[in-house]
Structure 1
Amino acid sequence: MTKTYSAVAMQLAAHSIEKTPDKAAARKQMMNMIGEVEGKIRSSSIFIQQYSGSPVKLAVLPEYLLTSYPGRISIPDFADKAALEVNGPEYEALGAMAQRLKMFVAGNAYETDENFPGLYFQTCFIVAPSGDVVLRYRRLNSMFAPTPHDVWSKYLDIYGIDGVFPVAKTEIGNLAAIASEEILYPEIARALALRGAEVFAHSSSEIGSPLDTPKDIGKRARAQENMAYVVSANTAGIKDTTMPLASADGNSMVVDYKGRILSESNTGETFTAFADINIESLRATRRKPAMSNFLARQRLELFAATYSGNSPQKADGLIQNNDIKTPDRDYFLRTQEETIERMIKDGLI
């Protein structure tokens, strides 16, 4: 076990593939981006070790760094043009990068799965210094993209519940991933913490502000209530879209297991959100009887009836007659409208 090490949230600009003319150009742009990212991590980690004295063992990259968001591109077209294959060349390049850097690299990308043709999932990944992908987490709550919950019965049959909430037990601690706005959903972080997660890698692309944003509050809350570190990397803007560049920029941070912000970035491309991670101290705190030991004080049976079978948004929405249905872009909004109507009818809202 590495006793103390530095983790860095690499605040980098995402590069949209929306304007690339074809699949080949999009894939070339993505591979070039991986090469650029390696150089930025390497130079940043050298400075961090010189400054803090601790080697960088974990670098977290922002949400959808290689492609940006799909926009109105159809799901099949975006999957073909930009989604990574599980054992595809982009993951090979990321694995080789992690080997050369000798560190864990966490990131986020859109990904296809041969078990679910016609779909893609937004996936958080962690690549080990060995070059192997040691964690693959598919985003569970998304407004405009398919999720495992939309094909829930089949997904569970293939991957099981531990594949839904994966935790990688490594020499730098037990690592888990949370995608983007999922930091606002306490159940996701709690499910991972109860499986042993000690460090949450949070890849995000969000509005930055000098005011507290919902996600900023969520990062501190998830860290404190789960007694875990949060390493949150935001984009430094998104290139080649019609939006102003800095619309999703700033406020990358590292939060400790007491909910304290250890470091936070301003705007632009930067590595300034870095801090020491002390797993031994975290574990000692988790093992100490105290009012502040929130994990040990959980009484989950109290909430089982509330959660069981009472989901506002229903599972298996993309399974029809036992086949996978490829949705149009408007499907997700229609589904939420129907959910709200049902909640009103049931007197829930």
Structure 2
Amino acid sequence: MIKRYKALALQTECKAVNTCKTRDESYAIMQRSLVRILDEIRGSKGFIGPDLKLVVLPEYFLTSFPFGETLQQWKNKACLKTDDPLFDQIKAFCIANSLFVSGNFYELDDNFPDLYFQSSFIIDDEGQMILKYRRLNSMFAPTPHDIFDEYLKVYDYESLFPVADTKLGKLACIASEEILYPEVARCLVMRGAEVFLHSSSEAGSAQLSHKEVAKRARAIESMGYVVSSNSAGISGIKFPFASTDGLSKIVHFEGHVLSEALTGGSMVANSYIDIDALRDYRSKVSMQNYIARQRFELYAPSYTNITHYPPNSFKDQKLSKDLFIKTQAKVIQKLSKK
């Protein structure tokens, strides 16, 4: 067990593959991006020092996000399987540099050939992919919830909320705007999560944005660290480059920011993670022990019996981005009647 170590929320530019016409063209961009990012991590560790053990990368760091593409077009252009050679490169890098690396990508699964998922991963310092989390709340990307019954025939329920018990503590991933959904963090805490690895691509606003508030709230209520990595801009896509840029950070389990980057490519968002201190904090009888004071039975019937966004929304439906909009519109219409 490494009781105290440094984590880095690496702020790095995302090279979009949206304008690519072929798979070969987009894959070449992914390869170049990965080489650059691994060099940035190597250089960051050289500067920060040997205490750096954990690096979190921004959301969809290899591709950017679909911006007008159909599900099939994005699947063909930007999605990977976990046995792709790019992951072999990351695994070899983790071994060579004694690092854990976490990131986020668009994933293919042979069990669901018509879909892709937005997935977060952790690769440990022995080159093993020890955790894979598939985003459960998304506006325009398929999720396990959209095919819930079929998904649970292939994977068990526990796979939805994975937590890895490691030498760096109990690690879990939260994808992008899911930091705004306290239920995701809560379900991970139920399974022991201590450090939340948050890959994001968001506005680095001078104001206290929704996500900024949520990062601190999740840290406080979950009594855990949040390592949140944002993009340093997205190039190669038709909107202003720095729209998603800045303020990668590490948040302490009491909610204060330990370190924070400004804009642009940066390794400034690095700080110590003290697992012993966190576990001591969680062990105390106090008003601030929000985990120990949880009364889940009070809330369980409400979550069981009340539905907003329906499961299995893809069942017997033609898959298209319009389906996401129509489903949400139906939910809003139903809620307005209440």
What range describes the TM-score normalised by the shorter chain of this pair?
A: over 0.9
Of 78, 83, 90 in structure 2, the residue corresponding to residue 82 of structure 1 is 78
> Equivalent residue for 1:41?
41
1:21 CA drift (Å):
2.7
Please tell me the residue identity of whatever aligns with 2:324: F
Q: For residues 184 and 227 of structure 2, what CA distance do their matches in structure 1 show?
A: 16
Matches within 5 A, 1:174-189: 174-189=170-185
> Equivalent residue for 1:334?
326
Q: For residues 167 and 323 of structure 2, what CA distance do their matches in structure 1 show?
A: 43
2:23 is the counterpart of 1:23: yes
Q: For residues 247 and 226 of structure 1, what CA distance do their matches in structure 2 show?
A: 29
1:97 CA drift (Å):
2.0
Q: 1:326 to 1:92 in 2, by over 3 A?
A: farther
Number of residues of Structure 1 aligned to a counterpart in Structure 2: 338
1:46-101 Cα deviation digits (max 9, x unpaired): 2112xxxx611100000011000111111112112110112122222221222222
1:310 CA drift (Å):
1.2
User: In structure 2, the residue corresponding to 1:143 is in which secondary structure?
Assistant: coil
Q: For residues 207 and 292 of structure 2, what CA distance do their matches in structure 1 show?
A: 33
Matches within 5 A, 1:272-283: 272-283=268-279
Q: 1:326 to 1:233 in 2, by over 3 A?
A: farther
Q: For residues 27 and 96 of structure 1, what CA distance do their matches in structure 2 show?
A: 19
User: In structure 2, the residue corresponding to 1:304 is in which secondary structure?
Assistant: helix
> Equivalent residue for 1:266?
262
Q: Is the 8 A contact 1:31 1:93 kept in 2?
A: no
Matches within 5 A, 1:5-154: 5-49=5-49, 55-154=51-150
Q: 1:277 to 1:261 in 2, by over 3 A?
A: same
2:235 is the counterpart of 1:236: no
Please report the TM-score for the alignment, with normalisation by the length of structure 2: 0.98
Q: For residues 101 and 24 of structure 1, what CA distance do their matches in structure 2 show?
A: 29
1:114-139 Cα deviation digits (max 9, x unpaired): 11111000000111111111110000
Q: For residues 146 and 86 of structure 2, what CA distance do their matches in structure 1 show?
A: 26
> Equivalent residue for 2:336?
344
User: In structure 2, the residue corresponding to 1:210 is in which secondary structure?
Assistant: coil
Please tell me the residue identity of whatever aligns with 1:327: L
Q: For residues 265 and 82 of structure 2, what CA distance do their matches in structure 1 show?
A: 28
User: In structure 2, the residue corresponding to 1:190 is in which secondary structure?
Assistant: helix
1:28 CA drift (Å):
1.4
Please tell me the residue identity of whatever aligns with 1:228: G
1:179-226 Cα deviation digits (max 9, x unpaired): 000001100001001100000000000011121010010000000100
Q: For residues 138 and 311 of structure 1, what CA distance do their matches in structure 2 show?
A: 21
1:326 CA drift (Å):
5.6
Of 212, 222, 228 in structure 2, the residue corresponding to residue 226 of structure 1 is 222
- For structure 2, list consecutive stretches of 5 or more residues without a partner in the other structure: none
Indicate the RMSD between aligned Cα atoms, in angstroms.
Answer: 1.0
Runs of 4+ in 1 over 3 A off after TM superposition: none
- For structure 1, list consecutive stretches of 5 or more residues without a partner in the other structure: none
Q: Is the 8 A contact 1:13 1:238 kept in 2?
A: yes
Q: For residues 199 and 326 of structure 1, what CA distance do their matches in structure 2 show?
A: 39
Q: For residues 40 and 289 of structure 1, what CA distance do their matches in structure 2 show?
A: 43
